[in-house]
A and B are shown apart, each in its own frame.
Chain A
Amino acid sequence: GEDVEQSLFLSVREGDSSVINCTYTDSSSTYLYWYKQEPGAGLQLLTYIFSNMDMKQDQRLTVLLNKKDKHLSLRIADTQTGDSAIYFCAERRGGSTLGRLYFGRGTQLTVWP
């Protein structure tokens, strides 16, 4: 299909791990991104992964990429209430000139104390 798919909601307890899943569409997408949007705020780039990598770790964040299944996940370790936000998965399609991001609809992460 044409759409980047994400589940809409995820609730976790503070201190647990969160895993947000995403399925993208274009096997030739070179870069895949995770953005975070807090209420009333803009889009903050959290992390990204190049398509020739399987995993990328950055402090509490771990990105896993399964290129065969076109599946991307974001794991947040020791989730805190401040992590409550909408998380967007995005794939970059197109070359250097016509490249653009295609976004999923976002996963609303709620962290309970």
Chain B
Amino acid sequence: DTAVSQTPKYLVTQMGNDKSIKCEQNLGHDTMYWYKQDSKKFLKIMFSYNNKELIINETVPNRFSPKSPDKAHLNLHINSLELGDSAVYFCASSPHGAGNTIYFGEGSWLTVV
């Protein structure tokens, strides 16, 4: 029944590793997002996809690569993890349209050691 689901919820990994976070939404929404919340709780958009097409790509290191195999899924792959990548990563989705509400997943807590 979960609307926007992300896996894993917790991830602890060493510097230099490559890891992926998966996201799926069952709301039939056209648009999906990745947001990052840093240690000071500040939330900022990273990427947005609309119908599998990349729409928004903020100033994010190219070690971060989103992939959308279909409009219900948006995965985030991170290469060569660094300590500063430790954060909570939130997936979100919304129907297409300026007035449509954005719904968030539960978050993925990434800790790089």
Contacts and interface: CB of A to CB of B under 8 A. Distances in A.
Nearest to B107: A42
A109 to B, nearest CB: 13
B12 to A, nearest CB: 15
A64 to B, nearest CB: 19
Main secondary structure of the interface of A (DSSP, over half): strand
Contact of A30 (B45, B99, B102): B99
A50 B55 contact: no
A88 B98 contact: no
Interface string A33-76: 10101000111110010100000000000000000000000000
Contacts of B107: 41-43
A33 B92 CA distance: 15
Interface residues of A, number: 26
B101 A45 contact: yes
Contact of A33 (B41, B55, B101, B105): B101
B43 interface: yes
A95 interface: yes
B98 A105 contact: no
A103 interface: yes
A101 B98 contact: no
Interface of A: 30-31, 33, 35, 37, 41-45, 48, 50, 86, 88, 92, 94-101, 103, 105-106
The 5 closest A-B pairs by CB, nearest first: A42-B106, A43-B104, A103-B43, A96-B98, A42-B107
Given A31-B101, A43-B107, A98-B56, 12 more contacts: A31-B98, A42-B105, A42-B107, A44-B104, A45-B103, A94-B98, A95-B98, A97-B50, A98-B55, A101-B35, A103-B42, A103-B44
